[in-house]
Amino acid sequence: MGERAPSHLIRVEVRPPYPVTVGEGLLAQVAATVEEQRVAIVSDAVVAGRYLADLEATLSGAGKVVSAHVVPAGEASKSARHWLELQRAFARGGLDRASAVVALGGGVVGDLAGFAAATYLRGVAWYQLPTSLLAMVDASVGGKTAIDLPEGKNLTGAFWQPRAVIADVATLATLPETELRQGAVELFKHGLLADRSLLDDFDATFGSSPRSPGALADAIARSVAVKAAIVAADEREGGVRAHLNLGHTLAHALEAVSGHRLTHGDAVAYGLHFAALLGRQRGHEDVTGATSRLLAWVRPAPLGVTELAALLPTMARDKKNLRGRRRFVLLRAVGEPCIVDDVSEPELERAWGALLEEVGA
């Protein structure tokens, strides 16, 4: 058996601060981090089948009282029904304010379990054990927790920071290739925002097969550091945290128009290239070569729409907008994001036309 990849520690400097540990074989060491004696694990059916029994054994072996709660895999589990079921299960299991919730899974499990922890007894401790690349680099950092409503995604939630995040890159070995590529889009976005080395090393990290656990852990740690710095500067999304929405204005509109058949990662890949095209029009650093290569690597599903007019109503409802003005996150250069509110429709049409010309509908 080869030597394990070294672990990386990143501190998220919010109140209270917490550590994010990225490495290989970390799930076997979780008991050393979880301080509470009574623990409720929340997972989904797919992840639970792979990792739940070992995690239960690890925590029980450390003398902890462990219960497990498994929800169906998929976005539909981020519902009021599943949230209420967890609340009642926590109560029946005797969880008190000295207990903890452990989220084992991807972004859906993290959102649901985090919101359940934030609301049970007005807030109990929780830990994130992300098992997807998207959750490792994005969803597990920042304290956003939420469930969906029939009226829209993530409309009921809370900012509730975890006690710790433990990202075991060994879990990525069982992640389907399409899901890994979805997560890599957010890592690439963090490179555009603040760490050019993530872009420079992208092909070496993700292009090889099999992928090196050490290279993955290093890239994930650098990506987490980018988001951690932004979250520390703006925990409640009142300012610079909006930079994390680079590429998301078009992405959210594409997702909505497709009825969410277009995945988030595919939509953000299109959105990053669209933002790069807008920036190039304005004389900013031309990063379209990099975003075009990302699109080619991700191989996203077709756009499914040819007319920009079909997307403008959703763009008008984007959460970044202020006083009725559309706002976009653009890049003056790699590492220099900016928010603009004066993008004209002719600019949007030109960028959309260039995107269509490159990828088709």
Catalytic residue ranges: 122, 144, 186, 227, 237, 241, 245, 248, 252, 264
Strand 100-105 and strand 65-71: pairing? unpaired
| Dist CA 248 CA 246 (whole Å) | 6
* CA distances to 20, 96, 152, 179, 328 from 26, in Å: 12, 27, 35, 21, 38
* CA distances to 177, 275, 332 from 297, in Å: 11, 18, 24
Q: Which of 252, 264, 328, 329 is nearest to 298 (CA)?
A: 264
DSSP string, 253-322: HHHHHTTT-S-HHHHHHHHHHHHHHHHHHTT----HHHHHHHHHHH-PPP-----GGGTHHHHHT-TT-B
Burial 316-344 (b: 16+ CB within 10 A, else e): eebebeeeeebbbbbbeebeebebbeebe
Q: Which of 226, 159, 157 is nearest to 191 (CA)?
A: 226
**How many degrees, rounded to 5, is the angle at CA 161 between CA 158 and CA 167?**
125
